[in-house]
Structure 1
Amino acid sequence: MCVAKSSAHFCGEQKNAKKDEYQALLDEALKCTAKNPNQSNVCACANDSSAFGLDKAQKDDLQEYLPKKDLDTKAQQSDSTYKQNEVIPSPNTRAKHTLLLIYENDSNFDPHIDKYYTAGISLKFYSKDLQKPTNKGFYTFMHAISAPTFFPKALSRYLGEEADFATSFGVSLSQEMYAPKDRFSNPPPKSDHPYGGFLYTSIMLQNRFKYILEQFEVALGIVGKAALAKQAQDTIHEARNVKKLAGWDTQLQNEGIFNLYYRASFSIPQVYEKSKHIVDIMPQVSFAAGNAKSHAQANLIARVGYNLSANSLMPHINSGFVSTLPNRYGFSIEGYVGLGIRAVVRNIFLQGNSFSPRKDIEIYNGVGEFIFGVSLNYKRFFLSYSAITRTKEFVSQDMPTTFGSILLGVSF
C-alpha cells in the first residue's frame, strides 16, 4: 500500500539525496498523493526552499510539477483534501509552451547532393500539457476531442501509469521541396523525380501517458506553384551561392491537400525504469491518409543518454518516426538510432496530381527508413541533429535519399 510521505519525512529524504535523485523522490511522492489525496502535502516540502540542496533553476523546475495556486495555503493544510475538481499534476507532464524551428536539407548531410527530397522548413508550436481543473471549458473540450483512441487508460495503468493522461496540442507551418536528379535539364527526364512543393499548416493533438504517446494530426495545404517552393529554393541557393535549378515550371499543378495522421509510440518500462532512465526502447506505429501521402509504418527506436524522458524524440518534418518533446526538466543529452518499414499506398510527389497522375514513374510499395542523431536539452533550450536515410522510393531512382535535420527550440 502506498502511503503519502509527510512533509518532514519527504524533505528529510530530499535533503540527504543527491541532486540527480530528487526527480525519483518527487515522482514517488506524487504517485502516493494521487492515491491518497487526503494526505496531500508535497507542496509543503517544495515550498520550503531550505530543504533542498538545489540551485535556483532546479527549484524552479521542481515547482513546475506542482500546483502554482495557493501553495502557501496548501502547505499549511497538509492533511486537507484537494478541491474535488482539481487534477493532481503527473510527473510526466510538460509545464511550458515550446517554439521550434526545424530545417531539413540533403546538404545538411552531404553538401554535394541536391535531389529528390531536397529541403524542408517548419515552425512548430507545442503547448504545455493541459492538466487543469476539468470543469473549465477549454480544457474539457481538449480532453474530450483528444481522448485516447486505441490505447485507453486501462492499458496505460497496466504498464505502470498512475495518473490520468495529459493532453497537449501543436500547430505548425511547414514547406517541403522536391526536385529531380537531373536538375539542369528543362524539362527533366520523365522517369526522374518530378519537381514539387508543399506548403501546409497542421494541427496536432497529443495524449501522453507515462509509457504511451498518442498523436492525431490534420494537415491542410497546397502543392504546385502556389506552394512557393521555387521562390524558397532560389532564395536558399542565392544565399549559398549555388546554381539555381532549371525545371521548376514543370512542377506539379496546384492542388489542395487534406491529410490525416495517427501515430503511437511506446516505451518499454522494464528497460526504461531498470536502466534508471538511461536507456529507452520505443516500438512505434504511424499511419497517413490523404491525397498527398497515404502509408503505414512500423518503427523501433533505441535511445541512450542522461535524464531521458520516456517516449520522446526530437521532432522532424518529413519522416515516419513518431516524435515529441521531452518532459523531464534540467539537463539531458542523448543519442539515438532507429529503423522503420513503410507500406506506401500514395505519394503525390512521385505519382503526380490526383486528377492528372504521372504514368512514367513506378513506385516501390515497400520503403525503409533509418535514423541516427543526438539531442541536447538544457533548461529551456533544445538543440538536435539527426540524419534520416530513406531507401529507394521509385524504380528508376539511382540511390537512397539521405537528409540532415537541424532543430532549435525554446520553452516559455
Structure 2
Amino acid sequence: MNLKHTLLLLCLLSGLQTMAQTHRNEFGFQSDNDSFLAQGSDRYYTNGLFVFFRRGLNVNDTTRFKNKVLGIELGQKIFNPASGQTPDRDMVDRPFAGYLYAGVNLNYLYSNESNLKLGAQIGMVGPAALGRQAQEVIHNTFGFYELQGWEYQIRNNFQFNLSGEYNRLLGRAGKDADISLNTYANLGTGFTGAGAGFLVRLGKFNQLFNSVSMQSTAIKQRGFEPLNKHEFFFYLRPTLRYVAYDATIEGSLFTKSDNSVEVRLTRKPVVFSQQFGVTYGGERWIFDLSAIFQTKDTKEMLKAHQWGSATILYRFN
C-alpha cells in the first residue's frame, strides 16, 4: 500500500469515527422541585416532571443550517400557595393548580449560531391535570405533611398553547466563555407573554447548533468540527418576562367560574428569574443541575419562587 492509499484510508477511518460520535435520538427526564434546594420550602411552583424525546432531522441546506431537531414532550406542573397545607381560603396567596400537557416542537439551528424553535402544546389546567393526586403520592411516599386546600384549585379548562424561541450568539472569548441572547413568546388559551434575557457559559461547551444549551445534541449528520468532544460548563441565565395571561393563576380565559370556592388573585405582569446551573454532555449521557429564583407572580404572594431542576438524557441511534 503506497502513501496515497494509506492517507486515504486514514481519512475514511477518521470520518467513520466522527460519524460514530453522532447520535440521532435522545430520551430523558427532567424533575423540578423546591425541596431540591434544601430550604425546607414547599411553595408556589412546587413540582414538575417532564419526559423528552428528540430526533435529529435531515439537513439539506448545510450552508444555512447545521442541525434540525424534532422534539416531543409530556409534562406536568404543580402549584400551591405558600404551603400545601392551607385549610383557610383566605390564606391562599397563589392558587392550587395542576397543568398536564403533551407538546411537539421543531428546532431550526443556523450556521451563525442562532436558532428558531417553534412549538405547540395541548393539555388541561384543573382537576383533570391530576396535580392533587400527584402531590399526594409524593407526600405519602416520602412521609411529608398532609395536604389541605386543594378544594380551592383552579377549575378545569382545556389548553392549546403556541410557543416560539429565538436565540443568538452575541460573543465568544476563546473556547471557555460566551454570551447569547435568549428570547421567547407564548400565545394560547393558558399562557400568553414574552421574555428576553441572556445565557452566559463558562467552561467547555460546543457551538449552539450542537449543544445541550439549545437542546440540539440530537443530530443526524455532523459536517463540522465541535469545539469540544464533551461539554462541561457552568451557566447563568437571567430573564425578564412579561406575563399577559397565566391560567394557573387566573383560570379559564373564556369562562369565569361563579363558584365562590375558586380563589381569584391578581397576576403581576412583570417577572424576573435567575437560573444558575452546571451541565455535562458526554458521548451518550447528558446531565444538568440548576437552581432557579423567580420574583412573585401574584400581588398576594408572601415570598418569591425558588426551586431546583435536574435533567438526565441518553443519546442513541
Q: 2:130: which partner in 1?
A: 228
Provide runs of 4+ in structure 1 moved above 6 Å. Answer: none
Greater helix share, structure number: 1
What does 1:320-335 align with in structure 2 at a 5 Å threshold? Answer: 323-326=214-217, 328=226, 330-335=229-234
CA distance in 2, matches of 1:204, 1:162: 23
1:356 partnered with 2:256? yes
Q: Structure 1 residues 394 and 313, CA, compared in 2 at 3 Å: closer, same or farther?
A: farther
Q: 2:41: which partner in 1?
A: 113
One of 242, 257, 271 as aligned partner of 1:343: 242
CA distance in 2, matches of 1:254, 1:360: 14
CA distance in 2, matches of 1:292, 1:373: 28
Deviations 1:315-354 (A, max 9, x none): 7xxxxxxx42447573220000021111110011111223
Task: Provide the secondary structure at the position in 2 that maps to 1:267.
Answer: strand
Q: 1:170: which partner in 2?
A: 71
Pair member with larger Rg:
1
Q: 2:104: which partner in 1?
A: 203
Q: 1:289: which partner in 2?
A: 187
CA distance in 1, matches of 2:117, 2:294: 23
Contact between 1:313 and 1:324, CA under 8 Å: does it hold in 2? yes
In the alignment, structure 1 segments of 5+ residues that lack a partner are 1-6, 13-42, 50-58, 66-93, 133-152, 154-160, 316-322
Q: Structure 1 residues 310 and 114, CA, compared in 2 at 3 Å: closer, same or farther?
A: same
Task: Provide the secondary structure at the position in 1 that maps to 2:89.
Answer: coil
What does 1:232-271 align with in structure 2 at a 5 Å threshold? Answer: 232-268=134-170, 271=171
CA distance in 2, matches of 1:359, 1:242: 25
Deviations 1:148-167 (A, max 9, x none): xxxxx9xxxxxxx8353532
Contact between 1:179 and 1:193, CA under 8 Å: does it hold in 2? yes
The TM-score normalised by the length of structure 1 is 0.67
* Percent sequence identity over aligned pairs: 21
In the alignment, structure 2 segments of 5+ residues that lack a partner are 220-225
One of 366, 372, 376 as aligned partner of 2:270: 366
Contact between 1:387 and 1:404, CA under 8 Å: does it hold in 2? yes
Q: Which has the higher contact order (CA 8 A, sep 6+)?
A: 2
The TM-score normalised by the length of structure 2 is 0.86
Task: Provide the secondary structure at the position in 2 that maps to 1:364.
Answer: coil
Q: CA-atom RMSD, angstroms?
A: 2.7
Greater strand share, structure number: 2
CA distance in 2, matches of 1:182, 1:388: 19
Alignment length (residue pairs): 300
